[in-house]
């Protein structure tokens, strides 16, 4: 029995996976939004899961951002109260046992490569298209974290092949301009639509209006898909994964899967491109499932 915890911005979920990878228990509660309370809640959720299914052999956490390999302190988390905190150390003290942490997009990639939409593929790139944008790379079943634990951080690379009106691009919270996150996250999609039409709409409202024939919404969706396609083509040119797995709210937009392959093929540095782009099998559960697998099988 392995426990995974997904430390999300609005909720925290703990789940136990049995040997076959099936859910044996899962509990979610709203994220209390402060460091100490969140730490206590994680410990409480793990205790409740173990009360249901018995003691777990390991605990892993999916988090926004990642621990710095140099200091152990969390950085790059959009739940900003985690930043500059020694979360792994504090979590281990709270639980009285070792804990592994990984970025939530890395957990998505690990989960989908193990028994999700990319099961059996030799290489997989996972992308979360939610409030923000994260990436994770799995090769031969192993997570590639990199020397500084920022491998596959696609969200903070500039939009590739920009047109004149896409440069330098919007300011990003990371301090740079034109990061992919400012274009291909759900928030980026809304911002771009608003910048052109003046309408403050949700991503879902824009997609619905595009399907109903609204020209401004349809053009925003066209721009979104083109930019995402360019981002994935850039990934092809450095990692060339067999399969891309998309997660997060924007991954539910069916139009992506019809239209992205042509855009990727047009930009990839190859005579042909026949990779796959698919939605995550486990949806919102990819975080807990990947976290539970951080200690291997
Ligand atoms: Zn950025």
Tell me the average pLDDT across 249-262: 97
pLDDT of residue 296: 84
pLDDT band of residue 297 (cuts 50, 70, 90) is low
- Ligand 1 centroid from CA 39, angstroms: 27
- Ligand 1 centroid from CA 207, angstroms: 25
Using CA atoms, how far apart are residues 102 and 290, in angstroms rounded to an integer?
9
The CATH architecture one would assign to domain 119-280 is 2-Layer Sandwich (3.30)
- Ligand 1 centroid from CA 153, angstroms: 10
- Ligand 1 centroid from CA 156, angstroms: 4
For 72-102, write each residue's pLDDT tens digit.
999 988 788 999 999 999 999 999 999 999 9
Contact predicate 243/118, CB 8 Å: yes
- With residues binned 3-state (H G I as helix, E B as strand, rest as coil), the percentages for the chain, rounded to 5, are 40, 20, 35
- Ligand 1 centroid from CA 53, angstroms: 41
- Ligand 1 centroid from CA 295, angstroms: 30
Count the Cβ atoms, other than its own, within 10 Å of residue 7.
27
pLDDT of residue 8: 87
- Ligand 1 centroid from CA 271, angstroms: 32
Tell me the average pLDDT across 263-289: 95
The average confidence (pLDDT) of the chain is: 95
pTM: 0.94
The dihedrals phi and psi of 25, each to the nearest 5 degrees, come to -165, 150
Instruction: Kindly state the helix (H) or strand (E) to which residue 93 belongs, with its residue range.
Output: helix 87-95
- Ligand 1 centroid from CA 127, angstroms: 15
For 30-48, write each residue's pLDDT tens digit.
999 999 999 999 999 999 9
Using CA atoms, how far apart are residues 58 and 3, in angstroms rounded to an integer?
6
- Ligand 1 centroid from CA 43, angstroms: 32
Query: 2-104 and 119-280 share one CATH topology?
Result: yes
- Ligand 1 centroid from CA 113, angstroms: 26
CATH code matching the domain that covers 2-104, chosen among 3.30.420.40, 3.40.47.10, 3.40.640.10, 3.30.70.100: 3.30.420.40
Give the start-to-end residue ranges of the domains of the chain.
Answer: 2-104, 119-280
DSSP strand pairing (123-129 vs 133-139): antiparallel
- Ligand 1 centroid from CA 196, angstroms: 22
Range in 221-225, 262-266, 293-297 with the lowest mean pLDDT: 293-297
């Amino acid at each position: 029995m392995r426990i995974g915890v997904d430390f999300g911005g609005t909720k925290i979920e703990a789940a136990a996976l049995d040997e076959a990878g099936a859910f044996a228990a899962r509990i979610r509660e709203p994220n209390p939004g402060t460091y100490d309370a969140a730490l206590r809640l994680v410990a409480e959720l793990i205790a409740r899961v173990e009360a249901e299914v018995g003691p777990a052999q390991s605990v892993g956490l999916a988090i926004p951002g990642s621990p710095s390999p140099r200091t152990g302190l969390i950085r790059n988390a959009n739940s900003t109260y985690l930043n500059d905190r020694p979360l792994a150390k504090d979590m281990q003290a709270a639980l009285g046992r070792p804990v592994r942490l990984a970025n939530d997009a890395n957990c998505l990639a690990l989960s989908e490569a193990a028994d999700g939409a990319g099961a059996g593929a030799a290489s997989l790139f996972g992308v979360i298209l939610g409030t923000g944008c994260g990436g994770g790379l799995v090769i031969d079943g192993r997570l590639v974290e990199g020397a500084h634990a920022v491998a596959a951080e696609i969200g903070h690379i500039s939009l590739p092949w920009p047109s004149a009106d896409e440069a330098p691009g919007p300011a990003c919270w990371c301090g740079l301009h034109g990061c992919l996150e400012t274009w291909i996250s759900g928030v980026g999609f809304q911002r771009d639509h608003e910048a052109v039409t003046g309408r403050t709409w949700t991503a879902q409202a824009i997609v619905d209006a595009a399907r109903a024939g609204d020209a401004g919404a349809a053009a925003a969706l066209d721009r979104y898909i083109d930019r995402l396609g360019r981002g994935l083509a850039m990934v092809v040119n450095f990692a060339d994964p067999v399969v891309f797995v998309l997660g997060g709210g924007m991954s539910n937009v069916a139009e992506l899967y019809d239209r992205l392959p042509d855009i990727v093929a047009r930009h990839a540095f190859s005579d042909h491109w026949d990779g796959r782009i698919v939605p995550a099998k486990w949806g919102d559960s990819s975080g807990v499932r990947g976290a539970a697998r951080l200690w291997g099988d």
